[in-house]
């Protein structure tokens, strides 16, 4: 899952120099409330006719690894713009596929289903199911709150949710700790935008939380999902998770991160995979992260 509005820090445009603190923690995947499952059983409407968008009728288009349904209201020229819009989304998804295979070694064998909803339709169907405004979530199918154009924010959400889908496809049943599944998803979402380091605002938000003793601890971060947390705690949990994975990748390299994921898929045990790959476990990672934020 991906919150729509992260902490204020997330919006700060200034980039930080390469991360100065190493770290990382345990892994997981988000579980959604049962009520959401019910909502998801309603399939998108018929795809046979090209709709105007925003009317609950979803157009379908396929690419090599994805089946896309979309219903975004693209304005007066919606019908003529839809094909280009769908091709752009599929191009982003295929880029996510390639990037994820390259950096994490994950390669789903079956097409992934993706639904890009008109924002109003997304709110109508899913608002209230999460304690914070959601930009997208994965539950067998990727669901994303659409936008009239495929911008960096939408590309980032698509990458984020694709990571959840890729784990779901490659390792069904594997439940990772939240810090790992959301951290990897956020990390890939940031890479979609070309971001290789934390933003200044993100770093400051972490420092402030650490100084105030408000950083989520490993127990909180190890829940399979953050959807049950209050909005402010969830924002921080996503941010810490991202920082842990970002620093793992930055300080030890993406190749090693890929080795870690391979070990994770073999053992199904994040802590064991960490120890095998890096020589220390989630507690060490989290402790190191916390102490470096405070110094």
Q: How many Å apart are CA 181 and CA 202, to the nearest integer?
A: 19
Shortest Å distance, C-beta 130 to Zn ion: 11
CB of 31 or CB of 120, closer to Zn ion: 31
Alpha helices by DSSP H, listed for the chain, are 34-40, 78-104, 119-126, 152-170, 178-192, 200-211, 218-221, 231-252, 254-267, 270-278, 282-293
Question: Which pair of tokens denotes residue 94?
Answer: 């295929």
CA 283 → CA 19, 217, 232, 238, 287, distances in Å?
Answer: 20, 10, 23, 18, 6
Residue 211 vs residues 40, 117, 247, 290: alpha-carbon distances, Å: 41, 40, 20, 10
The footprint of Zn ion (CB under 5 A) covers 1-2, 182, 185
Could you tell me the two tokens for 9?
A: 């820090």
For the bound state, the minimum distance from the C-beta of residue 227 to Zn ion, rounded and expressed in Å, comes to: 9
Q: Which one, 2 or 65, has the nearer CB to Zn ion?
A: 2
* Two tokens, residue 181: 């599944």
Q: How many CA atoms lie within 13 A of 4 on its CB side?
A: 17
**Which of 2, 290 has the CB closer to Zn ion?**
2
Smallest gap, in angstroms, from Cβ of residue 214 to Zn ion?
Answer: 22
Task: Say how many C-beta atoms besides its own lie within 10 A of residue 76's C-beta.
Answer: 8
Joined together, the tokens standing for residue 277 give 């790959």
Residue facing Zn ion at closest CB distance: 1
Question: What is the Cα–Cα distance from 18 to 218, expressed in whole angstroms?
Answer: 24
**1 vs 257, beta carbon nearer Zn ion:** 1
To Zn ion, the closest distance from the beta carbon of 212 in angstroms equals 25
Which of residues 39 and 47 has its CB atom nearest to Zn ion in the complex?
39
Q: How far is the CB of 45 from Zn ion (least distance, A)?
A: 26
Asked whether the beta carbons of 193 and 15 are under 8 A apart, the reply is: no
Minimum distance, C-beta of residue 140 to Zn ion, in the bound complex (Å): 14
By beta-carbon proximity to Zn ion, the closer residue of 141 and 288 is 141
**Least Å from the CB of residue 172 to Zn ion:** 17
The 3-state DSSP class for residue 134 equals: strand
Q: How many CA atoms lie within 13 A of 151 on its CB side?
A: 6
CA–CA distance, 261 with 270 (Å, rounded to integer): 9
CB of 2 to Zn ion, least distance (A): 5
Return the number of the residue (144 or 248) whose C-beta is nearest Zn ion: 144
- Which residue lies nearer to Zn ion by CB, 118 or 182? 182
């Amino acid at each position: 899952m991906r919150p729509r509005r992260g902490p204020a820090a997330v919006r700060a445009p200034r980039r930080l120099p390469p991360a100065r603190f190493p770290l990382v923690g345990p892994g997981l995947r988000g579980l959604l409330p049962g009520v959401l499952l019910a909502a998801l059983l309603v399939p998108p409407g018929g795809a046979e006719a090209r709709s105007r968008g925003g009317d609950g009728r979803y157009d379908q288009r396929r690419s090599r690894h994805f089946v896309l349904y979309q219903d975004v209201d693209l304005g007066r020229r919606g019908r003529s713009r839809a094909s280009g819009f769908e091709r752009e989304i599929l191009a982003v998804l295929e880029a996510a596929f390639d990037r994820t295979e390259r950096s994490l070694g994950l390669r789903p064998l079956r097409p992934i289903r993706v639904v890009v909803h008109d924002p109003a339709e997304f709110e109508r169907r899913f608002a209230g199911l999460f304690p914070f405004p959601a930009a997208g979530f994965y539950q067998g199918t990727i669901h994303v709150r659409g936008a009239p154009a495929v911008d960096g924010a939408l590309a980032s959400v698509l990458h984020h949710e694709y990571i959840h889908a890729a784990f779901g496809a490659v390792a069904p049943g594997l439940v990772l700790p939240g810090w790992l599944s959301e951290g990897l998803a956020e990390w890939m979402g940031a890479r979609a935008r070309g971001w290789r380091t934390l933003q200044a605002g993100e770093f400051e938000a972490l420092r402030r939380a650490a100084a105030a003793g408000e950083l989520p601890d490993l127990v909180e971060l190890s829940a399979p999902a953050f959807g049950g947390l209050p909005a402010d705690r969830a924002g921080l949990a996503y941010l810490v998770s991202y920082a842990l994975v970002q620093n793992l990748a930055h300080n030890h390299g993406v190749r090693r991160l890929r080795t870690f994921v391979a070990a994770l898929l073999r053992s199904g045990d994040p802590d064991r995979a960490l120890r095998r790959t890096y020589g220390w476990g989630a507690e060490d990672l989290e402790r190191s992260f916390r102490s470096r934020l405070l110094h």
